[in-house]
Amino acid sequence: MAVEFMGESVPYRTRRFDVIEARVRIRGRDITKPFIRHNDIVLVIPITDSGKIVLARSYRPELRRYVLELPSGTLKSRESPARGAARELLEETGFVAGKMSHILSGYPMLGYSDAKYHFFKATSLKGGEQKLENDEDIKVVKVSRKYLLKLIASNKLDDVNIAIALQHIDKK
């Protein structure tokens, strides 16, 4: 039996996302399905010429602590993923990529959000100055792939997006 989309409402808006209540008919029953509408997100795995991976050590209020994560952020209206990845890399790390390669896109939070994640690999990095937003506190950290694999193996990696990116960086 087909699913019929019947409309949606926006009961709550924030500066970063909207909460949507979609009304659908599934197997003859009308239901309301809430989800978060969010612009697409870019994530960058920057790699130095010496093979170090550049990460952001960011304070995350939702966890009440600092975590290591990929430089990432929300796409602006009508911004391409490649342009957004270059912008976020510069803002959060101060680096400009001589080469930026798209490695993977997909929806990591199906059932909760419509945000599509776009992963990029950045190489031939040139240093510059961070351009942090007002709500960011980020320190640039350079680590080895071996170190990250140890974090993954010991279940101590907070940003699982790093593990996803590591699986794909050699493909491009």
- As annotated, the active-site residues are 136
Token duo for residue 166 = 């590591």
Q: Is 40 helix (H, G, I), strand (E, B) or coil?
A: coil
Phi, psi angle pair for 45, to nearest 5°: -110, 95
Q: In DSSP terms, which residues pair with 44 in a beta bridge?
A: 120
- For the chain, the straight-line distance linking the first and the last C-alpha, in angstroms and rounded, comes to 41
Residue with tokens 């790390």: 93
Tokens at 1, concatenated: 């039996």
Q: What are phi and psi of 105, to 5 degrees?
A: -140, 150
Q: Nearest CA to 115 among 124, 128, 106?
A: 106
Q: Which residue has the tokens 């994530």?
A: 43
